[in-house]
Amino acid sequence: MVINEWPALTVAVQNQWGGADSAEKRDWIPTTILDLYEEQPEVDVEDIEDRLMQIMEDEFETTVDDDSAYECALKIDAVFKQCLEGNFAAVDDMYQRYLARQQQPAAAAAVVVQSVGDDVGSDEDVDEDDEMAEAAPAPAPAPAPRPERIVDDDGFELVQKPRRKR
């Protein structure tokens, strides 16, 4: 359940950075963490973090630079120890959140990439955005049907230019 709540992994799976079987790789991660506990008598949080980082690099070709892998490792270790004591309240709570997310429509994960030197904006931009947000939005036209996805042999989706309306 902790792995399913890790935002970095969620983005990697949604964007299929691990290929077409990204979801299966995500589901395989808890097994590797359990193996870590079985291999070593004393597993510390850094060992779990290292394993998570290694998996992200090897399987999803992604380097996680924030502290989310460490935070995830802390949660995994805490939940593991609670379960050893017979306390499954945290697992039950995470499972209920998981079920609630499964019932919601899939929301696309937004990944913002900002280059060095990009202008973040000024206070004037914020004021204009606030004014636009207060205006009542016009009803959106029905979306046009999307063209069929074309995926190459490596699992990458080919970008297609939209057709112009005539």
CA atoms within 13 A on the CB side of 59: 21
Residue 157 pairs in a beta bridge with 151
Question: For the whole model, what pTM was predicted?
Answer: 0.60
pLDDT for 86-143, tens place per residue?
999 999 999 999 899 888 865 544 454 443 444 444 444 444 444 444 444 445 555 5
Task: Encode burial over 121-143: b for 16+ CB neighbours within 10 A, e otherwise.
Answer: eeeeeeeeeeeeeeeeeeeeeee
pLDDT for 43-69, tens place per residue?
999 999 999 999 999 999 999 989 999
Q: How far apart are CA 105 and CA 122, in angstroms?
A: 34
Query: What pLDDT score does 31 carry?
Result: 94
Q: How far apart are CA 34 and CA 25, in angstroms?
A: 15
